[in-house]
Amino acid sequence: MNIWVEIITTTNEIEAQIVKTILEGEGIEVSIRSRLDASMPMNIGAGDLKIMVRQEDLQKATEILKAMEEG
């Protein structure tokens, strides 16, 4: 059974795509899920983007993102 867990939340679509590209480059499957803020007009695109990975990849993904932050 595939259980997806949230690894990071952002409102920045570019950041979400960068994280997705990095993790996929390391062989980790990534799903980006959007939760738009219903109070904002649709064309603004405001809302949370949740970057999700499979539970079994969570530790590896976390280590990759931590290393990325540390530069």
How does residue 71 score in pLDDT terms, banded at 50, 70 and 90? confident
Helical residues (DSSP H) of 1-71, grouped into ranges:
13-25, 58-70
Q: Tell me the three state secondary structure of residue 61.
A: helix
Is the pLDDT score of 52 beyond 50? yes
Q: What is the architecture of the domain spanning 4-70?
A: 2-Layer Sandwich (3.30)
Q: For position 46, what pLDDT does the model report? A: 57
Considering only residues 10 and 39, tell me which one the structure prediction assigns the higher pLDDT.
10
Query: DSSP character for 38?
Result: T
How does residue 8 score in pLDDT terms, banded at 50, 70 and 90? very high
Instruction: Give pTM, 2 decimals.
Output: 0.80
Is the pLDDT score of 11 beyond 50? yes
The residue ranges of every structural domain in the chain are 4-70
